[in-house]
Structure 1
Amino acid sequence: MATHLAAVCVGKGRPFEVQTRPTPRPGPDEILIEVKSVAFNPADGQMRDSGLFIPNYPTVIGFDVSGLVLEVGENVPIKAKNGDPGPFFQPGITRVAAFAASFWRACDPGYGAFQERCLVPWQHAVPLPDTGISWNEAATLPVAVEVPLNAWNIMGIPRVGEVNASSISTASIGADTSGETQGIEKRKREALLIWGASSSVGTMGVQTARLLREDRDSSFTAVYATAGAANQKYIESLGADRVFNYKEPQVVDSIITMAREDGLVIRHCFLATGELAPCQAVLKAFLGHGEEGENQKAKIGSAPVVSPDAAEVHGIETIFVLPSMDEEERLAQFQYWLGTWLREKLANGTIRPSPEPRVVGKGVGAINAGLDMLLRGVSCTKLVVEVAE
């Protein structure tokens, strides 16, 4: 029986132990990945240290992974048929980045990222371009892309190119839409706010928001973001129009004042990391503006889990960003986010891996220390372990 090494989670609050595990075979709609690199997310630390989401031990956790497809199960698309645009997964050939599915498999250890072999539903994976993206860069992509794209979905923001008449009307600020150009100018009067843009999901939030801003039919004409002073230039390079230092005591007032000077309103915020209250304070300042008046709700898509003790603000809805718990719906979501959207954007160069990866070790034995480093705090970097060459 084939075996491989894994960083095994043996109990709540205990360090991972490197153990040998039997290598599983992929079932229907699954691929087996030879793991090359893994990247860390805050949820990894919560799972290891507090047992969040883990029903049974031992298990293997981790979400962000890149690697080579080794085997495929039944129904996995391998090559084009009848004009099928893909994605396709050829054993021994296709390089992928993937969002590991342990969470949706009751933490079955075969589906965790922190090991040398990992099972993944093919819908959770994106084939990588032949050149231009390293294993380490690829490992930074899946969670960083999924979270903001999901946030736009749950806040009701139409995908690029999918704006319809009703969504335009809902988002519009002015009532006069006579003439196509004038109507577009009237509609594009919103700034989209990314709070915590220096985090990995925040940097990708800025990149995806930039594409929304560039969509001529969307209501967004600017991307606002918050970041520490040292990272502001980098966030601007990703597409933010204005970047505010979240450490300044008057940052909320600064954002509100600038939006008003720009003639914009802020009704949507992606909270990538940080506190909820400042986001609520910004959005509250713009409630009741525009033709919809008090009936227009502002929305916050929150990547951090929303505390049950969080204050509620009338007119502002806060939604925790989580993929659907319905299996069929979730697979369709991931297939679009990764297999369609990300694959296309990587191919045409409109999205790049962000932030820069920082290698903190090699082999699964380095995963504990890398996760400890993440939990001590990092900014505008994605910590990565190189599992294999």
Structure 2
Amino acid sequence: MSHLAAVCLAKGQPFELQTRPTPKPGPGELLIAAKSVALNPADCIMRDQGLFIPSYPTVIGFDVAGLVLEVGDNVPVNTTDDELGPSFRPGVTRVAGYSASFWRSFDPDYGIFQERCLVPWQHVIPLPDTGISWNEAASLPVSCQVPLNAWDLMGISRIGETPSSSTPAPVRKSDVLLIWGATSSVGSMGVQTARLLCEDPTSSFAAVYATAGAVNMQFVASLGADRVFDYKEPRVVDIIVSAAKVDGLGIRHCFLANGKLELCQAVLKAFVGDNQAGKRQKAMIASAPVIPPGTEMEGIETVFVFPSLEEEERLAQFQYWMGWPRKNLASGAIRPSPELKIVGKGLEAINAGLDMLSRGVSCTKLVVEISE
């Protein structure tokens, strides 16, 4: 059997449609028939600059929604109790998946921009039968994984997971989670997950602050941000710091979804120092964009948001990161965001979609429909 793929032939070249042999899933893998794919800034960088790609030709892409066609060995197929985990039934189970291409040396079988692709079962979100479209589903994997990964890297307890003590002491809610660049897909989901962290009684977070352009501030507030600031305001750093002090809160955790690292550092710097007990307080930034060299700042640790390079640990991470949205979508605690824009149908529309993304979009997630 064979299928069509948007093949990346060389750095800086547009994708070319080619026929590829359809692979068989190995242990722990699913073969997925792609219905929709979402586009990410990293896709543009990889196509145009060859980021991470060791050799050509290959197939890239991160976000896919589709139907499970085949399952490999050691894939759960008969689970019916949600507490026991997901179940994957060929021809039945609808999923949204996050590519494992990076961890497979960019073997083209694992790239998303094709009609059939392989994905580890831990990398997918099993979808409800109704209530979410293929296009909405395609927008979820990266947008959920990145902020959840950011909270883990900053040492923030996972939502709903209580400390090891069976009777945890009351937590004083005195901290702010700052989301910089909240209109991107990862930023908008960052606001939604941060809101849930604030609602967790075991969390010290009391408020979600976010930045956005003036035209999108109301949208970001609707996602759960307590305060939204115009990042284009020349005094935005001073305004954020003043707001936190008026609220009686400290800002020592920031998720940089998009924007300028130095502005995030300037905000956190105002809250770095010794507390009343004389203990040095830490501040952390989890950055979705690659961290430029020479940007270190005393008292503030900045980490690049990326999964573990160790296979077993990564699969365990993804099992949580992809399992979490499954439950919270069903309960209505989160929703796909921001607004979707369908840029075309068929694999041939991906190049034009990435060109559009490269020129810049605001508060919009670009999606390509692959098949019905």
What range is the shorter-chain TM-score in? over 0.9
- Aligned equivalent of 2:211: 226
The answer to whether residue 70 in structure 2 is matched with residue 86 in structure 1 is: no
The answer to whether residue 129 in structure 2 is matched with residue 144 in structure 1 is: no
Hey, what's the Cα distance between the residues in 2 that align with 1:303 and 1:293?
32
- Aligned equivalent of 1:320: 304
TM-score normalised to structure 2 length: 0.97
Aligned partner of 1:77: which letter? P
CA root-mean-square deviation: 1.6
Q: 1:146 and 1:27, CA in 2 relative to 1: closer, same or farther beyond 3 A?
A: same
Hey, what's the Cα distance between the residues in 2 that align with 1:80 and 1:216?
31
TM-score normalised to structure 1 length: 0.93
- Aligned equivalent of 1:386: 369
- CA deviation after TM superposition for structure 1 residue 81, in Å: 7.3
Aligned partner of 1:20: which letter? T
Hey, what's the Cα distance between the residues in 2 that align with 1:93 and 1:81?
14
Hey, what's the Cα distance between the residues in 2 that align with 1:332 and 1:232?
35
**Kept in 1: contact 2:101–2:108 (CA 8 A):** yes
The answer to whether residue 283 in structure 2 is matched with residue 298 in structure 1 is: yes
Aligned partner of 1:25: which letter? K
Cα deviation per residue 1:336-380 (whole Å; 9 max; x = unaligned)? 110x21111111111111112110000000100001100100111
- CA deviation after TM superposition for structure 1 residue 320, in Å: 0.2
The answer to whether residue 253 in structure 2 is matched with residue 254 in structure 1 is: no
Q: Secondary structure at the match of 2:84?
A: coil
Aligned partner of 1:213: which letter? C
Matches within 5 A, 1:267-346: 267-288=252-273, 290-291=275-276, 293=278, 295-310=280-295, 312-338=296-322, 340-346=323-329
Aligned partner of 2:185: which letter? S
- CA deviation after TM superposition for structure 1 residue 294, in Å: 5.5
- CA deviation after TM superposition for structure 1 residue 84, in Å: 5.8
Aligned partner of 2:271: which letter? F
- CA deviation after TM superposition for structure 1 residue 216, in Å: 1.0
Hey, what's the Cα distance between the residues in 1 that align with 2:86 and 2:20?
30
Q: 1:379 and 1:84, CA in 2 relative to 1: closer, same or farther beyond 3 A?
A: same
- Aligned equivalent of 2:152: 153
The answer to whether residue 48 in structure 2 is matched with residue 65 in structure 1 is: no
Q: Secondary structure at the match of 1:318?
A: strand
Q: 1:214 and 1:10, CA in 2 relative to 1: closer, same or farther beyond 3 A?
A: same
**Kept in 1: contact 2:96–2:138 (CA 8 A):** yes
Q: How many residues are treated as equivalent by the alignment?
A: 371
**Kept in 2: contact 1:98–1:126 (CA 8 A):** yes
- CA deviation after TM superposition for structure 1 residue 41, in Å: 0.7
Hey, what's the Cα distance between the residues in 1 that align with 2:153 and 2:344?
36
Q: Secondary structure at the match of 2:216?
A: helix
**Kept in 2: contact 1:265–1:286 (CA 8 A):** yes
- Aligned equivalent of 2:358: 375
Q: 1:343 and 1:57, CA in 2 relative to 1: closer, same or farther beyond 3 A?
A: same
Cα deviation per residue 1:200-258 (whole Å; 9 max; x = unaligned)? 10000000000000001100010000000111111011000000000000000000000
Hey, what's the Cα distance between the residues in 2 that align with 1:93 and 1:49?
37
- CA deviation after TM superposition for structure 1 residue 163, in Å: 3.9
Hey, what's the Cα distance between the residues in 1 that align with 2:333 and 2:370?
28
Q: Secondary structure at the match of 1:375?
A: helix
Q: Secondary structure at the match of 1:295?
A: coil
Q: 1:203 and 1:151, CA in 2 relative to 1: closer, same or farther beyond 3 A?
A: same
Q: 1:83 and 1:241, CA in 2 relative to 1: closer, same or farther beyond 3 A?
A: closer
Aligned partner of 1:87: which letter? P
Please list every run of 5 or more consecutive structure 1 residues that lacks an aligned counterpart in the other structure. 170-179
**Kept in 2: contact 1:287–1:293 (CA 8 A):** no
Please list every run of 5 or more consecutive structure 2 residues that lacks an aligned counterpart in the other structure. none
**Kept in 2: contact 1:362–1:388 (CA 8 A):** yes
Structure 1 runs of 4+ with >6 Å offset: none
Aligned partner of 1:388: which letter? S
- Aligned equivalent of 1:352: 335
Hey, what's the Cα distance between the residues in 1 that align with 2:82 and 2:225?
37
- Aligned equivalent of 1:239: 224
Matches within 5 A, 1:18-57: 18-57=17-56
Aligned partner of 2:28: which letter? D
**Kept in 1: contact 2:80–2:87 (CA 8 A):** no
Cα deviation per residue 1:279-334 (whole Å; 9 max; x = unaligned)? 00000001125345462110000000001132x21110000000000000000000
Aligned partner of 2:251: which letter? I
Q: Secondary structure at the match of 1:79?
A: coil
Q: 1:40 and 1:52, CA in 2 relative to 1: closer, same or farther beyond 3 A?
A: same
Hey, what's the Cα distance between the residues in 2 that align with 1:290 and 1:208?
28
Hey, what's the Cα distance between the residues in 1 that align with 2:27 and 2:51?
28
- CA deviation after TM superposition for structure 1 residue 22, in Å: 0.6
**Kept in 1: contact 2:59–2:106 (CA 8 A):** yes
Hey, what's the Cα distance between the residues in 2 that align with 1:379 and 1:83?
37
Hey, what's the Cα distance between the residues in 2 that align with 1:100 and 1:358?
21
Cα deviation per residue 1:115-146 (whole Å; 9 max; x = unaligned)? 00010000001110111100000000000000
- CA deviation after TM superposition for structure 1 residue 165, in Å: 7.1
**Kept in 2: contact 1:267–1:299 (CA 8 A):** yes
